[in-house]
């Protein structure tokens, strides 16, 4: 079922067409857009003309238009004064990088960019003015290929509008990487941080060290092995593809931590030299590169030499996050370096290492980027760029030390966190709360002064949740479980929010306005063949009275019907169609979904049970109800990931909220993935007015690792019992 798209409302007037203003929904929002009378109509005779240097952009536009219209439009170098021409030209004079002006009139289209990137962005804005089908890779019939007449003046507010793609934990193949770049470019994002190396895989062919990819790119054995890597030829192909789209690829070569894949290939890289294997599951290794051996520096020099010769970017990312220094503290060679350099803490060795690499990169005329840790481990001998990932306010550290910063706070920009906690949401990272579209959009990109220290913003898509292609869970509506679909589900539509944060000045942004424009972009993502999380319907109004609650909803996806239930059950595509406000007795009984197609619909609007009165027992973690309470002793696994948020002492409390029967608990086992952290055998019974608390300790916390509390339960004299489980941290 294809949704009915709101096409342009056309009314004939003298020599042209008038288009309703509401139909122009550009993301990211341009600085200035004025609607004029009329529209440009594409025909088989339309010519794309371009001035010198813009042939790649002209061919890009021709390819897109040919695929969807089926017309083989003429490409022509030079300036054209005739009608029915899309003219691409350059005007660098006095214009900021990547800026453009777009003029769409009945007679033709003119895009003038400050540079090729600006022209490319003018093309993106033009494509967003055409019907959504313009993005289709197959010929679309019976479409009026019209774009409303406008004058646009536009420029980015930040030079850095990035995404990080973690291809190390999960190997996304070359075609997926290209698709990801294409989608970024559609929304004027211009930097891809290519996370090529991590404990779980080395993805970049280095000719001088073939074992990095012969061994380090693979987990598991023989035909069951998982992983992969990019040859240098693949990399050149990806870079060329990205260049046309104004996307710069920044390679990330991680050290001193997160490089177990390299240590597995060449054990002499570590302090101890012992054999290691590429892990099959998420794991943060403590096997750092040894900073006491000259061979380590030679290795880095060689790897970076090949990296620099492959990637034209002036930036090289050296990772630098999450190093645990135990091995450096024990290693006589590392200790010797500490002494010789008067360093007091092993962590300062990371600063020492960064300075040595800084020198190597200076010689190559490259700027170092790294996670924020690189500016926190001792004084550096030059300016670097820090990716601020914990807390956006830490940007001030970069400002004070005269470094540059890119905002990528996990709270707003880590797209491996799901959008919601609604049951049925994809299983994804849980060590922080979910990030809604609105939360991502609320990232402030200009709070720090001098603002020139902040280059811009970057989203991060980590893939440790679907490491080596393990499947998180099926996305039921899609009947699809490939990790690529998860990656898109997690990335879209939030990428659009981050793209606007990076491009559009804060004073010119409003979430309400963005959300309104977003409704029409899902059709564009569909045409691009890009998966996305379908948004729940928007609650426009919720009137609560003594008799009940009345919901007024609006579409979150233009043209997509809303289906609802009033008994607390999850709606299906056959549930009643929403046409007018709906009244229910309690809001917990109301559910509504957005139906894009029979196979693609949203999770429901969902109000979780309010456990506010139990706040003192910590975070709500799980609940039991009669249907899960057995009459004989049965295991019950409680997912505590995200509730256990660091090392410390915790309490887990079981509280009965309803029912006549008590619940017997056969103790608890606290599990970090498969490892038993604590095994408490004490049998206890949860009754009304008698909650049960167990206390346990976590001393080896790792972000991203699942935690479970296993117990065994049995109803006492029946299963008529409801209750909830809470977890609270009581000390560090």
Spatial CB neighbours of 205, under 8 Å, sequence gap ≥ 6: 212, 213, 229, 230, 231, 232, 235
Least CB distance to ligand ACM at residue 320 (A):
9
* Alpha carbon distance 569, 572 (integer Å): 9
Residue 239: count other Cβ atoms within 10 Å of its Cβ: 20
Give the DSSP letter string of 569-634.
Answer: SPP-TTSPBP-S-EEESSGGG-EEEEEEETTEEPPPP------GGGGGG-EEEEEE-GGG--SS-E
Q: Where on the phi/psi map is residue 158: left (φ > 0), alpha (ψ -120 to 50), or beta? A: beta
Binding partner of 380, given Zn ion, ligand ACM, none, CB within 5-8 angstroms per partner class: none
Binding partner of 489, given Zn ion, ligand ACM, none, CB within 5-8 angstroms per partner class: none
Q: In this chain, which of 271, 358, 560, 709 binds Zn ion, going by CB under 5 A?
A: 271
Binding partner of 322, given ligand ACM, Zn ion, none, CB within 5-8 angstroms per partner class: ligand ACM
Least CB distance to Zn ion at residue 412 (A):
37
Instruction: By CB under 6 A, tell whether 466 contacts ligand ACM.
Output: no
Q: In this chain, which of 237, 321, 447, 555 binds ligand ACM, going by CB under 6 A?
A: 321
Least CB distance to Zn ion at residue 289 (A):
8
* Alpha carbon distance 431, 433 (integer Å): 7
Nearer to ligand ACM among residue 112 and residue 254 (C-beta)? 254
Residue found by looking up tokens 């346990």 in the block = 696
* Alpha carbon distance 567, 604 (integer Å): 13
Instruction: By CB under 6 A, tell whether 389 contacts ligand ACM.
Output: yes
Instruction: By CB under 5 A, tell whether 259 contacts Zn ion.
Output: no
Q: What is the 3-state secondary structure (H, E, C) of 107-172?
A: CEEEEEECCHHHHHHHHHHHHHHCCHHHHCCCCCCCCCCEEEEEEEEECCCCCEEEEEEECCCCCC
Nearer to ligand ACM among residue 38 and residue 409 (C-beta)? 409
Q: In this chain, which of 184, 262, 331, 406 binds Zn ion, going by CB under 5 A?
A: 331
Contact 531, 176 (CB under 8 A): no
* Alpha carbon distance 453, 385 (integer Å): 9
Least CB distance to ligand ACM at residue 466 (A):
16
Instruction: By CB under 6 A, tell whether 299 contacts ligand ACM.
Output: no
Nearer to Zn ion among residue 80 and residue 329 (C-beta)? 329
Least CB distance to Zn ion at residue 255 (A):
13
Binding partner of 290, given Zn ion, ligand ACM, none, CB within 5-8 angstroms per partner class: Zn ion
Binding partner of 271, given ligand ACM, Zn ion, none, CB within 5-8 angstroms per partner class: Zn ion
Instruction: By CB under 5 A, tell whether 334 contacts Zn ion.
Output: yes
Instruction: By CB under 6 A, tell whether 322 contacts ligand ACM.
Output: yes
CA-closest candidate to residue 728, choices 628, 626, 655, 629: 655
Instruction: By CB under 6 A, tell whether 431 contacts ligand ACM.
Output: no
Instruction: By CB under 6 A, tell whether 371 contacts ligand ACM.
Output: yes
Binding partner of 333, given Zn ion, ligand ACM, none, CB within 5-8 angstroms per partner class: Zn ion
* Alpha carbon distance 254, 387 (integer Å): 13
Binding partner of 331, given Zn ion, ligand ACM, none, CB within 5-8 angstroms per partner class: Zn ion
CA-closest candidate to residue 625, choices 723, 711, 715, 712: 723
What x/- string results for residues 285 through 314 when contact with Zn ion is judged by CB under 5 A?
A: -----x-x----------------------
CA-closest candidate to residue 622, choices 643, 651, 591: 643
Residues that bind ligand ACM (CB under 6 A): 321-322, 371, 389
Residues that bind Zn ion (CB under 5 A): 271, 290, 292, 331, 333-334
């Amino acid at each position: 079922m294809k949704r009915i798209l709101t096409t342009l409302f056309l009314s004939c007037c003298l020599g042209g067409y008038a288009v309703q203003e509401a139909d122009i929904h550009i993301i990211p929002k341009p600085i200035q857009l004025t609607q004029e009378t009329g529209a440009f109509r594409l025909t088989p005779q339309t010519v794309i003309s371009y001035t010198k240097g813009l042939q790649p952009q002209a061919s890009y536009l021709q390819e897109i238009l040919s695929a969807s219209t089926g017309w083989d439009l003429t490409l022509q170098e030079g300036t054209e004064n005739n009608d029915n021409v899309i003219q691409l030209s350059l005007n660098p004079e006095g214009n900021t990088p990547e800026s453009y002006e777009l003029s769409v009139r009945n007679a033709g289209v003119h895009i003038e960019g400050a540079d090729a990137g600006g022209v490319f962005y003018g093309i993106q804005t033009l494509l967003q003015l055409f019907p959504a089908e313009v993005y289709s890779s197959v010929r679309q019939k019976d479409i009026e290929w019209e774009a409303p007449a406008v004058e646009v003046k536009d420029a980015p507010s930040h030079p850095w509008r990035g995404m990080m793609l973690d291809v190390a934990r999960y190997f996304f193949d070359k075609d997926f990487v290209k698709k990801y770049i294409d989608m970024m470019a559609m929304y004027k994002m211009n930097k891809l941080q290519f996370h090529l190396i991590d404990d779980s895989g080395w993805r970049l062919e280095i000719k001088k060290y073939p074992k990095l990819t012969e061994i380090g790119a693979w987990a598991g054995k023989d035909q069951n092995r998982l992983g992969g890597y990019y040859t240098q030829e693949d990399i050149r192909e990806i870079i060329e593809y990205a260049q046309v789209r104004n996307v710069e690829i920044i390679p990330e070569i991680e050290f001193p931590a997160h490089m177990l894949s390299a240590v597995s290939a060449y054990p002499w890289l570590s302090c101890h030299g012992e054999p290691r294997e590429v892990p099959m599951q998420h794991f943060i290794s403590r096997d750092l590169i040894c900073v006491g051996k000259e061979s380590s520096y030679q290795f880095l020099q060689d790897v970076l030499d090949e990296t620099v010769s492959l990637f034209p970017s002036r930036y090289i990312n050296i990772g630098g996050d999450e190093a645990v220094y135990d091995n450096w503290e024990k290693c006589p060679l590392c200790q010797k370096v500490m002494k010789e350099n008067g360093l007091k803490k092993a962590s300062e060795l990371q600063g020492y290492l960064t300075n040595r690499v800084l020198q190597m990169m200076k010689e190559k005329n490259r700027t170092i980027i790294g996670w924020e840790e690189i500016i926190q481990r001792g004084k550096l001998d030059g300016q670097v760029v820090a990716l601020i990932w914990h807390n956006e306010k830490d940007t001030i550290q970069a400002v004070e030390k005269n470094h540059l910063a890119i905002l990528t706070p996990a709270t707003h920009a880590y797209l491996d966190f799901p959008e919601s906690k609604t049951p049925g949401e994809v299983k994804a990272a849980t060590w922080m709360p979910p990030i809604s579209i609105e939360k991502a959009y609320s990232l402030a990109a200009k709070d720090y002064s001098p603002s020139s220290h902040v280059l811009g913003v970057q989203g991060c898509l980590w893939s440790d949740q679907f490491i080596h292609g393990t499947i998180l869970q099926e996305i039921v509506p899609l009947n699809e479980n490939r990790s690529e679909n998860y990656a898109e589900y997690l990335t879209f539509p939030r990428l659009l929010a981050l793209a606007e944060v990076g491009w559009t000045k804060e004073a010119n942004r409003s979430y309400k306005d963005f959300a309104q424009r977003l409704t029409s972009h899902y059709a564009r993502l569909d045409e691009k063949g890009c998966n996305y999380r379908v948004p729940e319907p928007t609650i426009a109004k919720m009137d609560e009275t003594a008799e009940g609650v009345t919901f007024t909803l609006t579409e979150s996806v233009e043209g997509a019907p809303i289906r609802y239930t009033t008994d607390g059950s999850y709606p299906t595509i056959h549930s009643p169609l929403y046409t007018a406000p709906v009244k229910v007795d309690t809001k917990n009984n109301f559910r509504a979904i957005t139906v894009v197609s029979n196979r693609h619909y949203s999770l429901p609007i969902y109000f979780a049970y309010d456990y506010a009165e139990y706040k003192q027992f910590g975070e709500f973690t799980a609940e039991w109800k009669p249907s899960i309470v057995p009459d004989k002793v049965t295991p019950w696994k409680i997912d505590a990931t995200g509730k256990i948020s660091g090392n410390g002492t915790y309490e887990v409390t079981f509280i009965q909220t309803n029912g006549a029967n008590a619940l017997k608990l056969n103790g608890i086992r606290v599990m970090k993935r498969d490892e038993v952290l604590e095994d408490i055998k004490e049998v206890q019974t949860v009754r009304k007015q008698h909650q049960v608390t167990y206390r346990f300790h976590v001393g080896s916390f790792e972000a991203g690792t699942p935690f479970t509390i296993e117990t065994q339960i049995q109803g006492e004299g029946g299963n008529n019992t409801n209750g909830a489980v809470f977890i609270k941290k009581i000390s560090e």
